[in-house]
Amino acid sequence: MIVFKSSVAEFLDAVERSALTGMIETRYRTALHRAPAPGERQAWQNSMNFVCHRLRRSKIPQDCGVLIEYVIPTTLKRMDLVLSGFNREKNKQVLIIELKQWMEARLSRNPDLVWTRMGGGDVETPHPCYQAYSYLRFLQDLHEGFGRNEIRGRSCAYLHNYEPAARDEPLLDKRYRSLQTDAPLFLGTDHEKLEGFLADHFHAGDGGAILDQLETGPFRPSKRLMDEVANLYEGNPSFLMLDEQKVAYENIVAAVLEKGTKKRTIIVQGGPGTGKSVISMNAFGHLLRSGLNVRFVAPNAAFRQVTKTSLVRKGKRGVKATIDNLFLGSASFLRCNENTFDALIVDEAHRLKGKGAYQYFGESQVEDILKASRLNVFFVDDNQRIRKDDIGTVDTIRKAAAKFQSKVTEFNLVSQFRCSGADGFLQWLDDVLGIQPTANFDGWDPDAFTFEICPTPGDVLARVQAKNREGKRARMLAGYAWKWSSEGNGNGEVEDVRIPEHGFAMPWNGRTISTSWAIHPDGEGQIGCVHTSQGLEFDYVGVLVGRDLQYDPDRGDLRASWSDYKDSTGKKGLKEDPATLTRFVGNIYKILMSRGMKGCFVYIQDEALAGYFQDRLGRTPMAPGAMGHEDSLLATNVGSSQNRPGTI
């Protein structure tokens, strides 16, 4: 979708008449059905004046094309500026320019990222050259005109306000050197260099014809993309399928390859650890390698980011950019045309949103996805819904499929591949948390999975730290029973999760690493929540159960505490609906406790609830600090540091 399109001559005239910003805003409202933010309007006003000077002084042909705010299909991201024309070899040429008003930046220890000031706070964000490069990579991988080499592409970044430091300028650091080979960087002192760069790339105009091809050309995976994805999957043990996983996978592949235009919907149901993500990733890879226009959809940003990271080998920037473009959030299909995609693979579909959800302006993401694809595959677990606006239930998907006359096929996954194969533990959790009655109401084989209720949160932390020292993957998790500090108030450093009666305090996962917290080194010193862990797995987890979930011994039932549950969005409209709130809070704790494949250590703040869990286990509670010899030594060593996580 294009917000503004013109020739260079028309663009220069509009800027000089001070009319451009108003023209962009008018077309923005028409194209995106909403008003631009004040910051966007200011950016157009400031940046386009600088662009005007560079274009005029470069003397590129006046009939070259200009695009402003080109909305990248299905991504909701926008290219700031795109120029088109013919290069000196008479090839069609497109140049993507990422514009920034930055005035400062700092190095990040993460590849291709930098720190800058944005929105009144420090933000870790992609280097501007990476942004420009990734946009071009999207077109090269997925736009047919680029895939067939009919259109040549270049990209660059222009920070017109940025004065580089006299020494050791962060944006020019050697770690970004190869990145700037792919997408050159022009700062506030590089105006003449940018003018020369423009002149080198445009020797004849095109009257906007190339921009028309960019806008209307089909999107299909290029052969290079298919080859690269095949290499990612080959020999990767993470994608080995077992038993009914293989059955569901083969049926998905067969369905999408069927001839005809009739819609197909496949629903794959399964609880935690049944292998939904293994199947979804295999199906996605196979369909993409088959040359189909397919995307992987995940509503949860953390699950999406960690899945991408696990797939891409470290250091391969091109492959990383490609995978970024193939993994989409669930709000990406609001304005898609009918059957834009051959297939959409939707993992964690129970988190799809309905009307009124944050930053979603449609009616139903389930219907958006069904409309946009010929085949849609939903991997779903109704018992992992945690908010009212999570509408991706099996029943909702069936009704939406009927609306679009899509044939439905369903599969149920039963066997557990997480939690050391301890089906009984997860069924026991279902029964104990009141999610559904099961035959495992009296326990499971304890040799199959380690589950311990610890007397203090410090004991939970000590066990998690011990597992990390052993080389295992372990994380601390907690229910939403403690408030979060704002991002500008030390979030990720302020010890928000405080349990004073045990002298315990740790920070929530920082927002700057929220999508990568599960695999980020800093994650070991922070407590994750359901949004940063749902769909992911670790070897061991430590879970803190706050007072948001309580037990009434007189009634003999669980209840959620509306005042102690701190997720304002999650409890909205539920003050007078305690049953629904209790179900959602119970679902959250099942999700958290089932993130570990080998074990889970739990502290429960409500004494009655702790006693209820112990009764259901049929075990004697441990005394505070009661550990094995190895853990006792660990606790002594950890406790010697005054600054360790978990102390106040």
Single out the residue of 299, 306, 609 nearest to residue 479, CA to CA: 609
**What is residue 352's predicted lDDT score, i.e. its pLDDT?**
95
> In Å, how far are 68, 143, 299, 541 from 140, measured between CA atoms?
19, 6, 26, 41
Co-location of 388 and 313 in the same domain: yes
pLDDT confidence bin for 634, thresholds 50/70/90: very low
Give the pLDDT confidence of 43-94 residue by residue, as tens digits: 888 899 999 999 999 999 999 999 998 877 666 678 999 999 999 999 999 9
Mean pLDDT of 503-507: 96
**What is residue 234's predicted lDDT score, i.e. its pLDDT?**
62
Co-location of 397 and 423 in the same domain: no
Co-location of 63 and 179 in the same domain: yes
Amino acid at 214: L
- Sign of the CA dihedral with 83 first, then 86, 91, and 92 last: positive
Co-location of 182 and 247 in the same domain: no
Co-location of 69 and 160 in the same domain: yes
Co-location of 497 and 555 in the same domain: yes
**How many whole angstroms separate alpha carbon 42 and alpha carbon 21?**
9
Length of the chain: 648
646 lies in a domain? no
Last residue in a domain, options 216, 238, 268:
216
Q: pTM score, two decimals?
A: 0.75
648 lies in a domain? no
Co-location of 270 and 162 in the same domain: no
117 lies in a domain? yes
* Structural domain for 442, as ranges: 419-639
Co-location of 404 and 450 in the same domain: no
647 lies in a domain? no
Task: Write out the two tokens for 571.
Answer: 């409890």
List Cβ neighbours of 85 (8 Å cut-off, separation of 6 or more). 60, 61, 63, 64, 65, 93, 201, 202, 203, 204, 205, 206, 210
Give the pLDDT confidence of 375-402 residue by residue, as tens digits: 999 999 999 999 999 999 999 999 999 9
645 lies in a domain? no
* 3 state DSSP class of 281: helix
pLDDT confidence bin for 610, thresholds 50/70/90: very high
Last residue in a domain, options 412, 447, 467:
412
DSSP secondary structure string, 516-551?
TTTTSGGGGGSEE-HHHHTT--EEEEEEEE-TTEEE
Task: Write out the two tokens for 60.
Answer: 């590129």
644 lies in a domain? no
Co-location of 68 and 205 in the same domain: yes
pLDDT confidence bin for 422, thresholds 50/70/90: low
Co-location of 357 and 450 in the same domain: no
Alpha carbon 623 to its chain's center: 41
> In Å, how far are 12, 143, 624 from 628, measured between CA atoms?
75, 60, 12
**What is residue 639's predicted lDDT score, i.e. its pLDDT?**
29
Last residue in a domain, options 396, 412, 428:
412
- Any idea what the CATH number is for the domain that residue 280 is in? 3.40.50.300
Query: Which phi and psi angles does 593 have, rounded to 5°?
Result: -75, -15
The percent of the chain in helix, strand and coil, each rounded to the nearest 5, is 40, 20, 40
Co-location of 473 and 549 in the same domain: yes
**What is residue 356's predicted lDDT score, i.e. its pLDDT?**
82
**How many whole angstroms separate alpha carbon 11 and alpha carbon 168?**
37
61 lies in a domain? yes
Single out the residue of 56, 59, 65, 89 nearest to residue 205, CA to CA: 65
- 581 has a pLDDT exceeding 80: yes
Co-location of 320 and 343 in the same domain: yes
The tally of domains found in the chain comes to 3
Task: Write out the two tokens for 434.
Answer: 């009141």
